[in-house]
Amino acid sequence: MNENLRILVVEPSPERVRDIVDALREAGWSDVKALADISELDRTVREFAPDIVLIDLANPDRDTLEHISYATETTKRAVALFVDQTDETLTQAALNAGVSAYVVDGLKMERIKPVLQTAIARFKMMRQMHSELNAAKQALEDRKMIDRAKGILMRQRGLAENEAYILMRKAAMSQNRKVIDVAQALVTAADLLS
């Protein structure tokens, strides 16, 4: 467990904040900042740059969840949301907003450490999946661009597909560029000339 995490606690009650901060320190986390007013969340996140945001709300609504998602940039940090009650719509909205841990039945001090560990683990897993998905999408787009460039060479020079690829690969090597860069340049030039 990373004990150097910066944790932002969003809780309006000063007594409750003390309990939460004490529980976090007892769990090994000491870099903690408390925020009483959720409307200050956006500014505080920018200034404090927390690794995880712990939010304790009695009854969140859809607008609050959207605000949390936007303000905390859930793709950059884990968010643990503790609520007293929920329904299926709010649960789904929380998941859609990117909340890493959505805990119903309020925040209990003895659950802070395992919930935050779970939130962090889930956040890392989701970030990894998101990164892999983006890489796969980019690889597919690159493949389409290379295929389009091969098609241009095949039509204009009467080459077979593998010959067109070999020509692009040789050009990339001689120019110290990637094949995708050569393909993009070829497609751009062909578009300008057509």
Superfamily of 6-107 according to CATH: Response regulator (3.40.50.2300)
Same CATH topology for 6-107 and 133-193? no
Answer whether 100's CB lies under 8 Å from 126's CB: yes
- Helix, strand, coil percentages in the chain from 3-state DSSP, rounded to 5: 65, 15, 25
104 has which bridge partners? 83
pLDDT tens by residue, 54-74:
988 877 777 777 777 877 776
pLDDT tens by residue, 70-110:
777 767 888 888 888 778 888 888 888 888 888 887 778 88
- What does the alpha-carbon distance between residue 112 and residue 118 come to, in Å, rounded to a whole number? 10
Confidence of residue 14 (pLDDT cuts 50, 70, 90): very high
Please, what CATH class does the domain formed by 133-193 belong to? mainly alpha
- pTM for the model stands at 0.68
**Spans of all domains in the chain:** 6-107, 133-193
Is residue 178 within a helix (H) or strand (E), and if so which, with residue range? Answer: none
pLDDT tens by residue, 108-148:
888 888 888 888 888 888 889 989 999 999 999 999 999 99
